[in-house]
Amino acid sequence: MEQPTRADLEDAARIVYRHMAPTPQYAWPLLAERTGCEVWVKHENHTPIGAFKVRGGLVYLTSLRAAQPCINGVITATRGNHGQSVALAAAKVGLRAVVIVPKGNNPEKNAAMRAFGAELVEHGEDFQESYEYAMAQAAGQGLHPVRSFHHDLVRGVGTYSMELLDAVADLDTVYVPIGQGSGICGMISARDALGLKTRVVGVVAENAAAYALSFAEGRPISTNSADTVADGMACRVPDEAALEIIWRGAARIVTVTEDEIRDAMRHFYTDTHNLAEGAGAAPLAALLKERAEMAGKKVGLVLSGGNVDVGVMREVLAP
């Protein structure tokens, strides 16, 4: 897949801004003290669904509806944020949305998806099983399959990267969490579209390291499981189209442990009073891991979402 151009991203922004305002980016002094850097946080936890994915859903389904006006509905799979995005966007353009989630999925994300209008179905033990089931069900139910990685999703979520890179000059490095890859591919596309030299660093969980393994080996590598508190990064089968962009445009991928993710979730709360789900906190965890190398630099962190369930956050904040 060709990465989105500046024109693609600007067209996507026109769709996104019909439904939401740009999110803020702030430099937090306590995070600067903790990391030894000038740290700018891109607050994608401030979108209408509390996560960056809403942008991709709006662009994908608006474009789909325009291209196929007689379509009846869509089907997808998710651990939560992608499903909320599809549900909200489907309601905006007048489409039915069926969302498949794995058994035992975050109950609060499930409730949010239903509130946005999704028909929720539980199937499979993890995201990959849910995803394969959703794709297999599409034709039989007469629904359009919304995959987890697509050009329109990338150009949609890439609008937050354009906002950050336009607003904050001379960022040395930006840390971006990797789930299925749309966020980091959007950041790489925006960086290249703006002609900048900012290094883009991906972040994965040690327990869901498929993209880190694939990046290191130069070929797609799947894992047998993806059991992590960062459910937005719980990927065990990487997308080859995403990998092509990441191989070309990422400086490196940092792997963080479960404890490092939990610590970063707590730091976001104490230092900024923002809730960060595991994937949203992972960039801070990676920066802290590389604190010595990044000392004194100007760094961006993508707080990709704040949709953490009560039980997990209670454990994270417990002394």
pLDDT value at position 175? 98
Torsion sign, CA atoms 242, 304, 109, 115: negative
The total of other beta-carbon atoms located within 10 Å of residue 174's CB is 27
pLDDT tens readout for residues 235-267? 999 999 999 999 999 999 999 999 999 999 999
Secondary structure (3-state) at 1: coil
Which pTM does this prediction carry? 0.95
- 36: tokens are 């030894």
pLDDT tens readout for residues 118-152? 999 999 998 889 999 999 999 899 999 999 899 99
- Provide the terminal-to-terminal Cα distance of the chain, rounded to the nearest Å: 46
pLDDT band at 80 (very low <50, low <70, confident <90, very high): confident
Domains of the chain: 6-52+151-317 (3.40.50.1100), 53-145 (3.40.50.1100)
> Are 196 and 165 in contact, with CB atoms under 8 Å apart?
yes
d(CA 295, CA 318): 30
**Helix residue ranges, H only, 218-256:** 240-249
> Residue 124, by phi and psi: left (phi above 0), alpha (psi -120 to 50) or beta?
left
Q: Which residue has the tokens 């590598």?
A: 221
pLDDT tens readout for residues 153-183? 999 999 999 999 999 999 999 999 999 999 9
pLDDT tens readout for residues 36-69? 999 999 999 999 999 999 999 999 999 999 999 9
